[in-house]
Amino acid sequence: MPSAGPSTATVSPEPGASRAGVRFRMPHALVMMLLIIVASVALTWVVPSGTYQRQAGGLVVPGTYHGVSKDYAGSLLHPAGGAAVVAYPASPLAIVSAVPRGMVQTAPLIFMILFIGGMFGVLEETGALGAGIERLLAMTRGNVYVLAPLLMLVLASGSTFLGLISEYLVVIPIVVVLAERLDLDALFATALVTIAAKIGYMTSVTNPLAVVVAQRIVGVPLFTGAGFRLITFVLYLAIGIAYLLRYVRRTTKGRRAEVTFSDARLSRRHVAILLVLLASILVMVYGAQQLHWKDNDLAAMYLFMGLAIAAVGGLGSRAAAQGFLKGMQTMVLAAVLVGLAAAVEVILKDGMILDSIIAFLTRMAQGKPPVVVAQMMVFIEMIIDVFIPSTSGKAAVTMPILGPIGQLSGLGGAITVQAFIFGNGLTNAITPTSGMLLAYLATGKVSYGEWARFVLPLLAILTVLSLLFISGAVLVGY
């Protein structure tokens, strides 16, 4: 039976790339992120600098954008960025100096990712995960056409109703092991979790990180339009499930994997370990939703889970410590990619060009017919997502600006919120600056190029549907 631990977090070679170099081959994920950082530095030299005034909490004050003069000569003397009255393009040194700053900024998330790996390393040592997978296969008779839809429904529901996303990093290694037992590849396992989570976010029926924040900013009553979003959730998830199962049929050419599994019952110790794992996940969901736990709290919880699993599993201190360190090693790439993605935002903020990009994009939507404005707001959110992948951060910056634009165009606040939800979710499933997406891919051992080729057709379908949905919402006075 394949190892029950998390997959090694390296990036696999691009399928189909010839050794002779005839076909294009995506660079390693680290190289790709460094190239994006270099491009970000270059942007600070060519994009005019400017800024909005901000209220407490970082909310942008509409109509306050103003340009800031750029001191090109002082760039090397002020490598950390600009001031309120003058901006400095990013120094070439920022290509490397922004990386540790990005890692410091995202340190809680980085430690959470590493501790997830450590916890799974301990879980692997106990053998409980492998035994649990065997039992799951026995209960479903190894039918992927039953397992995949059920798992995607559960994961997508957690995202669309509760806003779960980083919590699903812990699920990917489990699904990778399951995929191996079903004779399916790592892309299937990663796609199962990622498609479900991202569809949950791009529909966001009651997602507090997207809906609640955005609606409060534009003054829309809480959870307005939940029925509309529920319709999109059901439809989009059905499409996502069909898309993944089509991939299964295509890659397996319709054959059913001959999976052998044991009908043996789980041992009492394995049951106890899996109950600890399940209870811990439920505690984390409650903590994130009700106690407002952040990444550092979740990181501590994963550390506790590793200790608890070791104790219940009867592991000796040496075996537990070695398993924890071995598991952390599998997540190093994912953790580093998160820091590199944060470095991009650090550079753009230091160069004071983020607000300039936002101001330019939002001006394009002004004075257009209502349906066009609604569609353009979706595209604006999709573009800004590349620069600000954070859902709550993007809401704080864009909602105060797009809200008045929508009102002047005769659109209600609910349309503006819906445009934000669609745009935020669509691009976040592909943008290379999303640290969480890169962490998903690295955890599942899937290269960015392989993921992009796989998911782009699905995103094209969902983008067209989103534009149709928001146009229809405008026409019916939503």
What's the number of domains the chain is made of?
Answer: 1
pLDDT at 84 over 80: no
In a domain, 333, yes or no: yes
Residue 388 lies in a domain: yes
Residue 21 lies in a domain: no
Taking only the tens place, the pLDDT of each residue in 117-128 is 899 899 888 988
- 272 in a domain, yes or no? yes
Which pLDDT belongs to residue 163? 85
At 12, is the pLDDT very low, low, confident or very high (cuts 50, 70, 90)?
Answer: very low
Read off the pLDDT of each residue in 438-442 and give the average, rounded to a whole number. Answer: 90
* Residue 18 resides in a domain: no
* Residue 24 within a domain: no
Give tens-digit pLDDT for 374-409. Answer: 999 999 999 999 888 888 888 888 888 888 888 888
Nearest to 317 by CA among 120, 114, 122, 131: 122
Q: pLDDT tens for residues 30-54?
A: 888 899 999 999 999 999 999 988 8
DSSP H helical ranges for 291-316: 295-312
Domain that holds residue 189: 29-475
Query: If you average pLDDT over residues 251-256, what whole number do you get?
Result: 72
Give the lowest-confidence range in 141-145, 242-246, 367-371, 458-462. 141-145
Whether residue 80 is predicted with pLDDT greater than 60 in this model: the reply is no
Percent of the chain with pLDDT over 70: 89
pTM exceeds 0.85, yes or no: no
> Residue 261: exposed, middle, or buried by beta-carbon count in 10 A (0-12, 13-18, 19+)?
middle
Joined together, the tokens standing for residue 325 give 């360190």
At 102, is the pLDDT very low, low, confident or very high (cuts 50, 70, 90)? very high
pLDDT greater than 80 at residue 200: yes
Long-range contacts of range 88-95, CB-CB < 8 Å, 24 or more positions apart? 88/350, 88/351, 89/41, 89/44, 89/45, 89/351, 90/40, 90/41, 90/44, 90/45, 90/347, 90/350, 90/351, 91/41, 92/41, 94/41, 94/347, 94/350, 95/34, 95/37, 95/38, 95/41
Spatial contact of 398 and 384, defined as CB atoms under 8 Å apart:
yes
The span from the CA of 440 to the CA of 162, in Å, is 19
Burial classification of residue 467, based on how many CB atoms lie within 10 Å of its CB (0-12 exposed, 13-18 middle, 19 or more buried): middle
Q: How confident is the model at residue 21 (pLDDT cuts 50, 70, 90)?
A: very low
Give the per-residue pLDDT at 148. 93
Query: Comparing C-alpha atoms, which of 382, 366, 367 is closest to residue 431?
Result: 382
